[in-house]
């Protein structure tokens, strides 16, 4: 869990992870619908947002849903967040920290600040959460996605796929604890939006680095020019060697200091 999440929100996010995928630990962030993550070429948290979106296209047909991660982001939801959240980019890694940030954004969008400020009650906030996460129950009889739903049912009851996975009393308890924690820490009326994350950056191969070839050709050209224009062949061989060594040494140092070269040689931390 990222450190900037208020305690009340952190309690809710942990509860949602457990409800959605059956656990709230580190492994929950790699789960895809039906716990079919074992068939992935690499862990979900090692993918970028763009890679997850591309992979999700086939998951609905293969697994019955495109839900991904600890908060079971549907493809439509993740694609919408990519357009809506100003700092989010396709090359951001879909790791645990990013998933927490996006889930916090969804909590805010569903009225977290209004709930903590006492502007909406538990039943209304729970209904909004149930609209976002199908595993959560509504707390009062109300209109659902397809039909009237009773207390304890999923907002999406009747769609043949979704059902509430936790009892309404548990949700009420967590909402109460989150509200109490936020009041104690003065978090009410404060909507927390997580900070941007750095994109996944990749180094160019040394052979594709313009700087590498520039220095290499410059060194070679300098040597040829010196031999031709300065008539170095007329100098003592030891002087020639010293001049050429200085030119080559400068070029080697310039190339060696390039990040791509240092990465290739394992010299960076």
Burial readout 165-176 (b: 16 or more C-beta within 10 A, e: otherwise): bbebeebeebbe
Give the per-residue pLDDT at 218.
62
Tens digits of per-residue pLDDT, 122-174? Answer: 999 999 999 999 999 999 999 999 999 999 999 999 999 999 999 999 999 99
Which letter does DSSP use for residue 134 in this model?
T
Give the per-residue pLDDT at 189.
46
Give the per-residue pLDDT at 241.
73
* Upper half-sphere CA count for residue 102 (Cβ side, 13 Å): 31
Per-residue pLDDT of the chain (269 residues), as tens digits, is: 656 688 899 999 999 999 999 998 999 999 999 999 999 999 999 999 999 999 999 998 999 999 999 999 999 999 999 999 999 999 999 999 999 999 999 999 999 999 999 999 999 999 999 999 999 999 999 999 999 999 999 999 999 999 999 999 999 999 999 999 988 876 544 555 544 555 555 455 555 555 655 655 565 556 556 555 656 556 666 766 777 777 777 666 666 666 655 555 555 44
Give the per-residue pLDDT at 195.
47
How far is residue 37's CA from residue 59's CA, in Å, rounded to a whole number?
Answer: 11
How far is residue 110's CA from residue 112's CA, in Å, rounded to a whole number?
Answer: 6
Give the per-residue pLDDT at 87.
97
Give the per-residue pLDDT at 131.
98
């Amino acid at each position: 869990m990222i450190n900037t999440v208020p305690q009340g929100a952190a309690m809710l996010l942990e509860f949602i992870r457990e409800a959605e995928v059956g656990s709230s630990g580190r492994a929950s962030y790699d789960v895809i619908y039906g716990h079919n993550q074992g068939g992935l070429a690499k862990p979900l948290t090692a993918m970028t947002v763009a890679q997850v979106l591309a992979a999700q296209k086939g998951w609905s047909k293969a697994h019955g849903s495109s839900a991904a991660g600890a908060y079971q982001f549907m493809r439509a939801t993740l694609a919408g967040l990519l357009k809506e959240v100003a700092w989010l980019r396709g090359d951001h890694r879909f790791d645990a920290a990013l998933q927490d940030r996006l889930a916090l954004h969804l909590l805010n969008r569903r009225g977290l600040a209004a709930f903590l400020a006492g502007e909406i009650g538990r039943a209304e906030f729970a209904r909004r959460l149930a609209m976002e996460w199908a595993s959560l129950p509504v707390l009062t009889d109300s209109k659902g996605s397809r039909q009237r739903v009773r207390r304890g049912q999923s907002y999406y009851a009747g769609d043949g796929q979704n059902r509430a996975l936790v009892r309404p009393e548990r949700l009420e308890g967590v909402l109460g604890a989150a509200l109490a924690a936020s009041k104690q820490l003065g978090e009410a009326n404060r909507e927390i939006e997580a900070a941007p994350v750095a994109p996944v950056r990749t180094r160019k191969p040394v052979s594709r680095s313009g700087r590498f070839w520039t220095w290499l050709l410059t060194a070679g050209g300098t040597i040829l020019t010196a031999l031709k224009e300065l008539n170095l062949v007329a100098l003592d061989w030891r002087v020639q060697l010293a001049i050429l060594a200085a030119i080559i040494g400068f070029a080697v140092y310039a190339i060696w200091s390039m990040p791509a070269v240092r990465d290739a040689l394992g010299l960076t931390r």
